[in-house]
Amino acid sequence: MLTTSTPVVAVELLAACIWVGSLVCLALVTRAARKVLDGPSQVVLFRAIGRRYGIVGTAALLAAIGCGLALAWPPSTWSNTIDATVALSGALVLLTGAGMAQARAMTALRRRAVTAPDDRAAAEAVRRGRIVAGALRGTMALVTLAVLVLAAQAISH
């Protein structure tokens, strides 16, 4: 049984909006940056965005999860839907951590590729890293969508 508290619901909605909106924004910025910026400029941009997003995105995700848990408390009243939502939320935290670690590794790889443009191994590592980054972001988006759908289902029942 979900309880309601207007301030908690408001924070939950705001945090979820920031999380989902930032995922969409990152995808758009990434695509545009690759089209209009040279390699060194991309490194600088993605590093700056990553540092800020690490704070804002993570805080929004944790606030959304915390408010969701507060609204669903106590665990003894949880349905299978809420159990699945909590499990997927935990997976989302782990995916976010993996994404942040991978982004840091990509910064180092991009720097290496920029400073040694003839280094085929560095260029290949960046190419593979982009594939991994896309897979991580896609998985994060799908898990986020699943969490939202399950949470909506739990609220509506």
pLDDT tens-place string over residues 57-97: 999 999 999 999 999 999 999 999 999 999 999 999 999 99
pLDDT, mean of residues 113-139:
94
Q: What is the pLDDT of residues 134-145, one digit of tens each?
A: 999 999 999 999
| 42 in Cβ contact with 34 (< 8 Å) | yes
Letter string b/e over residues 104-121, b meaning 16 or more CB atoms within 10 A of that residue's CB? eebbebbbebbeeeeeee
pLDDT at 146: 98
pLDDT at 95: 97
